[in-house]
Structure 1
Amino acid sequence: MSFPEEFLHYLWKFCLLKKQEFKTTSGDILDIISVGLHNNHAGPDFESAKIRIGDTLWAGNVEIHIRSSDWYRHQHQFDQAYDNVILHVVSEHDQEIIRNDGTEIPVFEIKNLIPAEIAQNYISLMADLSWIPCEKHLAGIEPFFIKSWLSRILIERLEERSIQVNELLKEYKGSWDDAFYITLARNFGFKTNAVPFEMLARSLPQQLLGRYKNRAFQIEALIFGQAGFLNKNFKEEYPGLIMQEYRFLRKKHGLNPIDKYLWKYMRLRPRNFPTLRLAQFAALILKSSHLFSRILNEKDSRRIMRMFSEMPLNSYWETHYRFGQECQQTSSALGDKSIDNILINTVAVFSFAFGLMHGSDEQMNKGLNILEKLSPESNAVINRFIKIGCIPENAAHTQAILQLKKSYCDQKKCLSCGIGTKILNHKNASTVSNVF
């Protein structure tokens, strides 16, 4: 059977070929001292490898293909990056490969060196049509191993999200406060109203809101007005007053509101209605100007978490979810799950990103500590992982699980996943070294 290159990479990287005397296709004894560093970018597959062929010690790069002829099919003969390849590892040797200087590249054929058990495990895993390939095996993996892998995956997720933060920073000319403000607004809308919340924030710079610091009436008028909710006359006093104030502020600052129809209510509980979310957002803006700067200077992650609680809203929202529609008295405060969502998707991400870009372990650890102190998230993906034996202890674990599902399970990248390789080679996974 022909295996894909990524499987051959896995065998080489983790030294999983049958233990015996190795020889090149020319009959020379081959001693693998170091397999090299796996290269996931352009160029040879493994760099800085060390091998001995006969009596000669070589240091250089290793290229891996299914067939030797793939060298020419991939046009490596035209790429100088491949001139330093010291060994061509192939499943099947079907053609001699000559370097540009006229010398032949040694070939190591491995099709008869693949352990049958590992090959069968791989075939079974790739053919599994379950929700995720390892669904039937996950419960048999030690929890400590899974948690260790999730810790690595969490860093990967935060690094990916840091790239998104950097793109926003470029747009706002390096202003962390502005980038944080836009992201915070987007996450206040959660999935349903993320887009209109971001549009609102972009139409209403925090520098303008800062001019009305400690003036709740103006802040509320600006936010509801720019959101498109103050474009009619009201019978109730509170919305009528902020409508009049917004008309003045709109003319003064040359503002253009977004369209009201962008806001969605369908299938939302009243406590998640955009009008109540906007009131909560106004309360946070009123309470915390230059919020990200405060977060950076605060060392206690629990105090950071408390910044998003105890935000007093106008009493109007104690009996309303929407303008002009009175309801029974209820709590208008931001709920614990909503606060957790903002801490997970905004505060922790920005703390980590800032630390990553400025070389600050303190800020990176602050982001990680916040996730570790929060309760596990609950959604369809997390609940399915729990059902098959992966039990998260905190939000750090659930964030890692979401990354695992998106970047590994959905793409069947089992050979790049610690859990996948553990299942493929359960006998040797705990003792793998970098030497044959």
Structure 2
Amino acid sequence: MQEDFLHFVWKYKRFQSADLKTVEGLPVHIIHLGQHNHNAGPDFFNAQLIIDNQKWAGNVEIHLKSSDWYVHNHEKDSAYDNVILHVVWEHDTDIYRKDNSVIPTLELQQYIKAELLNNYKNLLSSKSWINCEKDFHNVDDFILNNWIERLYFERLEQKSKSINALLSASKNNWEAVLFKMLCKNFGLKVNGQAFLSLANSVEFSVVRKTKHSFEDLEALFFGQCNLLNDDIQDGYFLDLKKRYVYLKQKFNLANQGVLPLQFFRLRPPNFPTIRLSQLAQVYNKEDNLFSKLMNLETVDDYYEFFNICTSAFWETHYTFSKTSKRIKKNLSKSFIDLLLINTILPLKFSYAKSLGKDEEKKILDLITSIAIEKNSVVDKFLDLKALKTTAMTSQGLIQLKNNYCNKNKCLQCAIGNQLIANSY
């Protein structure tokens, strides 16, 4: 038994509320259960109750045992002076106010159906991939779809905190934040941190001053990533090296903190050389990249904008030292989808919040226009139940698994709520 279960039961009134009586035998009528408090202080604020024909307004505190009041030292905390009802699973001692009057206590276990308690115990004791694995397919579609949408925006809120930290560090320069996020996501999972270390090694003002020359941008990115240190007698390589020496001296660049790039176990189109050249193309293409990306409205607009490729050299190379069959290396649709999911939409959400605008409808239209992501977590959920095949679904499911299932937070989950409470 967890105290969270009693919070859930009280919050959603999952008990038989007729003929409630305190342990002293006083009748209790609930007018308002109160607002759930997730911070310090009593568990529910501003409840309204009628106890023994006397109306009370104040707070409700919940414990497994009455004696937990003293275990938690509430008698010494003035924040608990306005508690009008002590709700417990088991009453084992009276609790007194500072004036020595007894705080009314409601022992909840006698008002909870055995089926509800069994549902809770069975769910939380499951040893499956997720607690509700065997019952997930029974969850109401309307509840599940609304919960996934809410989880997606919860995920955006979490990402917004990271964006705000980047924004603060860059002195409210949204262009600089975009550069760091694009760098990280162009590096994908394997080279994401290395690409981010590249972004951190260069002031964005240097990128801005260099962006009008595609060759200079490539030289800047390759040089900062220590890719121009070899002795390769190729005209393109030597030109980049010469340009980087000039840029390094001009802007007093240092790259000791840039992490090594990884090529091993990557498909050649994802080699960091290819991604760096494509990233340079993006920044060479647009002067005010952040404004441009924030103002595009449809997924097709983004596909058109990101229809970019590498410089000509990389059409016949994946590394500086070895030629390959000629192929134009454009950003794929699936890669652009990842940029939208992990960079553009979180930035649109955070930027709109900073301006006091509600852009949720536009963001929903965009995320539901993107195909569902493929990974082991999403595939496992889809094996349990057919769901909408959009990126909002995959993002919501990732949030569900990481922040609820893995932490046994079934009582805070709409799915767990339904499965536990299906006796009512």
TM-score (norm 2): 0.96
3-state SS, counterpart of residue 347 of structure 1: helix
CA distance in 1, matches of 2:258, 2:354: 38
Which of 413, 421, 424 pairs up with 2:420? 424
Tell me if 1:334 matches 2:331.
yes
CA distance in 2, matches of 1:258, 1:179: 22
3-state SS, counterpart of residue 110 of structure 2: coil
How far apart are residue 239 of structure 1 and its match?
1.2
Which of 20, 44, 47 pairs up with 1:46? 44
Q: 1:194 to 1:163 in 2, by over 3 A?
A: same
CA distance in 2, matches of 1:225, 1:174: 27
3-state SS, counterpart of residue 26 of structure 1: coil
CA-to-aligned-CA distance 1:362-416 (integer Å, 9 cap, x gap) = 3x44333321111000001000000111523211111010000001000111111
CA distance in 2, matches of 1:404, 1:417: 8
* Residues 23-32 or 350-359, more deviating: 350-359
CA contact (8 A) 2:197 2:257 kept: no
Partner of 1:57: 55
3-state SS, counterpart of residue 255 of structure 1: coil
Which of 193, 196, 205 pairs up with 1:195? 193
- The equivalences for 1:45-124 within 5 A come to 45-124=43-122
Tell me if 1:354 matches 2:351.
yes
Q: 1:409 to 1:369 in 2, by over 3 A?
A: same
How far apart are residue 145 of structure 1 and its match?
1.9
CA distance in 2, matches of 1:116, 1:260: 60
Q: 1:278 to 1:251 in 2, by over 3 A?
A: same
3-state SS, counterpart of residue 86 of structure 1: strand
CA-to-aligned-CA distance 1:166-214 (integer Å, 9 cap, x gap) = 1111111111111121111111111111111011111122321221333
Tell me if 1:383 matches 2:379.
yes
Q: 1:228 to 1:259 in 2, by over 3 A?
A: farther
Q: What residue ranges of structure 1 are gaps of 5+ in the alignment?
A: 429-436
What is the one-letter code of the residue matched to 1:402?
Answer: I
CA-to-aligned-CA distance 1:198-256 (integer Å, 9 cap, x gap) = 11111122321221333111111111111111112322221121111111211121112
3-state SS, counterpart of residue 104 of structure 1: coil
Which of 8, 29, 32 pairs up with 1:31? 29
Partner of 1:143: 141
Which of 200, 224, 227 pairs up with 2:222? 224
What is the one-letter code of the residue matched to 2:405?
Answer: C
CA distance in 1, matches of 2:83, 2:17: 24
CA contact (8 A) 1:351 1:366 kept: no
Q: 1:377 to 1:165 in 2, by over 3 A?
A: same
* Residues 77-86 or 415-424, more deviating: 77-86
Tell me if 1:325 matches 2:322.
yes
Partner of 2:293: 295
CA contact (8 A) 1:235 1:324 kept: no
3-state SS, counterpart of residue 330 of structure 1: coil
3-state SS, counterpart of residue 57 of structure 1: strand
Partner of 1:431: none
CA contact (8 A) 1:169 1:179 kept: yes
Partner of 1:366: 362
How far apart are residue 261 of structure 1 and its match?
6.7
How far apart are residue 259 of structure 1 and its match?
6.9
Partner of 2:267: 269
CA distance in 2, matches of 1:98, 1:380: 54
CA-to-aligned-CA distance 1:270-308 (integer Å, 9 cap, x gap) = 111111111111111111233212223344454244322
3-state SS, counterpart of residue 60 of structure 1: strand
Corresponding pairs, count: 424
CA-to-aligned-CA distance 1:72-106 (integer Å, 9 cap, x gap) = 11111122111111100001111111122332211
CA distance in 2, matches of 1:250, 1:413: 51
CA distance in 1, matches of 2:183, 2:340: 12
CA distance in 2, matches of 1:301, 1:332: 21
Q: What residue ranges of structure 2 are gaps of 5+ in the alignment?
A: none
CA contact (8 A) 1:347 1:367 kept: no
Which of 3, 6, 10 pairs up with 2:4? 6
Partner of 2:150: 152
CA distance in 2, matches of 1:143, 1:393: 14
Partner of 1:174: 172
What is the one-letter code of the residue matched to 1:358?
Answer: L
What is the one-letter code of the residue matched to 1:52?
Answer: I
Tell me if 1:255 matches 2:253.
yes
What is the one-letter code of the residue matched to 2:263?
Answer: Y
Partner of 1:241: 239
Partner of 2:129: 131
CA-to-aligned-CA distance 1:337-383 (integer Å, 9 cap, x gap) = 11111110110001111122332113x44333321111000001000
Question: Cα RMSD over matched residues?
Answer: 1.6
CA distance in 1, matches of 2:332, 2:343: 16
CA contact (8 A) 1:227 1:258 kept: no
What is the one-letter code of the residue matched to 1:421?
Answer: N
How far apart are residue 25 of structure 1 and its match?
1.0
* Residues 296-305 or 97-106, more deviating: 296-305
- The equivalences for 1:397-436 within 5 A come to 397-428=393-424
